[in-house]
Amino acid sequence: MESIGTRNRLTYLDWLRGVGGIIMLQGHAFHSFLKPDLRGGAAYMFSQFFGGMPPAIFLFLTGVTLAFLMYSFERKGVAGRRRITGTLRRAGYLFGIAMLLRVQLWLFSWPSPWTNLLKVDILNCMGFGIALMAAMALFTTAQRVRICAALGLLIAGLSPLVTQMSWLGVPGIVKAYIAPDYNSFSFFPWAAYLAFGMSAGSLIRLLKQEHYDRAMQWAALLGVGMILGARYFANLPFSIYPKSEFWLDSPAQVLIKLGVILVILAAAYVWTQYGAAGAGWSWVRQFGTTSLLVYWVHIELVYGRWLPWCKNNLDEGQTALAAAILIALMLLLATAKTYRRDIAAYVSNVWGWRWSWSGAKPDRVPAD
């Protein structure tokens, strides 16, 4: 079945990822730099409210690209066992990156407790969630659209019940990977975004080009409906759950964030397809194509030992300025990484220095 070109698809997905990266940078800057006595103000609340969106966006997009990978297996006629192992390799890669990040942060903050190495961050959640959902590779792309959507609803719906389970005697690291917790990215409810992303990514692969605009219109309408509907049910004076915390394990929060993602996704498509089509370089998309590098470096910069005079020491205006500077620095880093060969060639021509790059330049592929 003919589908829209890979180039356009990656452009708007990168743009969505870039939006998440920019929101993440300002959120972490306010979380690390603002004075504690100012954290009840509107600026901090506004920053952190939107700062909760990037993890959901990143997990959703990880699910989308995972669906692309499974679609590739299906088209090539890969055997069932090899589909599973291929998916598990993707999970292992993310686990490996997560552990490297934790080791680096631990070494740079030495002396620090060794238990910091066991923190369940978003990369851990991605790897763990992909490993548990590897069996989705055995289904057809059309089947994954429905199954993964139902799986996302199931994960979100079970989250309040998982929170209320007795975890006595269960190792803390196991609970951190499974049960909702404010200090970790657990499978419940965060993996719901991964499942929803797999459903969306599978649908994207099935769409014909002439149906794409209409699909994005429906995505936006569905997103708005989710936001309004989930918010309405969250405000009801009664609940089907004995206990549920909105910011921790509420299915309504998951659906509201998913609705916001769908609205931004549709806006990203419209912008990249019609608003800025053929405009060349995009600073937002630049963040999206180098999101892992930006994530890694800014975590060390914002939460490490590099800026001790800023930690919990800035007022709202100073923090906003620091966030803007951080975004500019990360944009400079991301751009330098993307155009490193052009930069090297320029320096070589101007200063006579000679740098060589080993290996061929990697190309983006549909499963990236």
- Give residue-wise pLDDT tens across range 96-155: 999 999 999 999 998 889 999 999 999 999 999 999 999 999 999 999 999 999 999 999
What is the per-residue pLDDT for 356? 54
- What's the whole-number average pLDDT of the chain? 91
Q: Does pLDDT of 19 surpass 90?
A: yes
Alpha helices in the chain (DSSP H): 6-33, 42-51, 53-76, 80-108, 122-132, 141-164, 172-178, 187-206, 212-234, 246-249, 251-270, 283-289, 291-303, 316-338, 340-351
Domain annotation covers residue 346: no
Q: Which two tokens stand for residue 105?
A: 């942060």
pLDDT score, position 153: 98
Per the domain annotation, does 362 fall within a domain?
no
Who contacts 156 (Cβ-Cβ below 8 Å, separation ≥6)?
Answer: 189, 192, 251, 254, 255
* DSSP state for residue 312 in the 8-state scheme: T
**Amino acid letter for position 215:** A
Q: Is residue 50 one of the residues assigned to a domain?
A: yes
In this predicted structure, what is the pLDDT of residue 8?
A: 45
pLDDT band at 353 (very low <50, low <70, confident <90, very high): low
List the domain range (segments joined by +) for residue 255: 6-340
Residue 3 has what pLDDT? 40
| pLDDT interval class at 218 (50, 70, 90) | very high
Q: What percent of the chain has pLDDT above 90? A: 83
pLDDT at position 294: 97
Polymer length in residues for the chain: 368
167 falls within a domain: yes
Q: Is the pLDDT of residue 278 over 90?
A: no
Q: 3 vs 82, which has greater pLDDT?
A: 82
Task: Give the tokens for residue 345.
Answer: 């060639």
Tell me what pLDDT residue 361 has: 43
Q: What is the pLDDT of residue 341?
A: 86
In a domain, residue 255? The reply is yes
Q: Based on the structure, what is the number of domains in the chain? A: 1
Q: Is residue 347 part of a domain?
A: no
Within a domain: residue 336?
Answer: yes
